[in-house]
Amino acid sequence: MVDPISKKPFVTVDSDGFLAPCGFRYTYRDGVPDFRVQLGAGAKMWAQGQKTFAQWFMRYLDRGEASNSFYPAEQQRDRRVYEAITLEGRVLDVGGQLGHIRKYMAPHQQYCSIDPFVGVHLLASNRKNLFANYPLTLPLNFLGGFAEFLPIRDESFDTVNMRSCIDHFFNPEIALMEAFRVTRKRGKLIVGLKIEGHTLKSSLLDIAKGVVGTFVSRYKDHHMWHPSYAGLIALCRGCGFDLEKEYWQTSDVLYASFIRRDTHLVTVETDN
């Protein structure tokens, strides 16, 4: 691990935390190494979004405990995704929470989850159905942190997984540049999220959002932005990842794998 801002090794690492070269100390929160940096503009909006997400997550856990078929049905959908787009080698799961996707990985694979939701393990405790259906009793490498400031050394992972999280980022460009930095050459980026405007229903919702503005709160959500298909592909390409494969889980939920180029710079062809 490295300082998420300077990318330099920590001066000291002990039970009190991690001392960065600049003198700032990262500590533990609820037993989790907390590398979340201090952010200014947009932090209030993001924090409100996280609060809304936490409420959604509690409802998700409650549904899982209320029905024995809830998690198996979820796995039936997700298994198709990760059979089509495989999690290879050493995996960094950005926004990975408790590591649910280890269900679709080989036992020998190394895995690390990084998530700003540092208290997620407390919310999930004593959820019998959750632990019965996912490999959550296994030891978990879990770090508290932001995608834009990864406390990870360069070229440390073969796969960076970003499922249902790119639309939560403060700055997706910085987050994907960080993914490029920590992914090994010819490594893989996996992205999964809802694509805006891909179906007639979502297009009509976009129009409704524009018409009613901020007066109808039911159109608000906990996401920071909503990408189009073309916008997502262009974003990934601009940050050094070329589209390899795509899998549409539903008509507007896309999973795609991208291969890391040797450089994030895009080549521009010119006439000689």
> If we measure between CA atoms, which residue out of 228, 256, 234, 80 comes closest to residue 162?
256
At 101-139, the pLDDT tens digits run 999 999 999 999 999 988 888 888 889 999 999 999 999
205: pLDDT confidence band, cut at 50, 70 and 90?
very low
The confidence score (pLDDT) of residue 73 equals 96
Query: What is the percent of the chain where pLDDT is above 90?
Result: 57
Mean of pLDDT values over 249-263: 93
Identity (one letter) of the amino acid at 129? N
Q: What is the mean pLDDT of the chain?
A: 85
Query: What is the percent of the chain where pLDDT is above 70?
Result: 84
223: pLDDT confidence band, cut at 50, 70 and 90?
low
Top-confidence residue, 35 or 211? 35
Residue appearing with tokens 């297009």: 203
Instruction: Give residue 47's region: left, alpha or beta (phi > 0; psi -120 to 50).
Output: alpha
At 81-105, the pLDDT tens digits run 999 999 999 999 999 999 999 999 9
Distance CA 255, CA 64 (A): 23
Residues 6+ positions from 207 with CB-CB distance below 8 Å: none
Write down the architecture of domain 41-260 according to CATH.
3-Layer(aba) Sandwich (3.40)
272: pLDDT confidence band, cut at 50, 70 and 90?
low
Tokens of 108: 């020998």
How big is the chain, counted in residues? 272
The confidence score (pLDDT) of residue 254 equals 95
Mean of pLDDT values over 220-239: 77
> If we measure between CA atoms, which residue out of 228, 230, 248 comes closest to residue 84?
248
> For the chain, which residues make up each domain, given as ranges?
41-260
At 12-59, the pLDDT tens digits run 999 999 988 777 789 999 999 999 876 665 667 777 777 888 888 899
Question: Does the pLDDT value for residue 230 go beyond 80?
Answer: yes
Instruction: Give residue 179's region: left, alpha or beta (phi > 0; psi -120 to 50).
Output: alpha
Strand (E) or helix (H) holding 171:
none
**Phi and psi at residue 245, in whole multiples of 5°?**
-155, 150
Distance CA 216, CA 98 (A): 34
Q: Cβ distance 126 to 59 under 8 Å? A: no
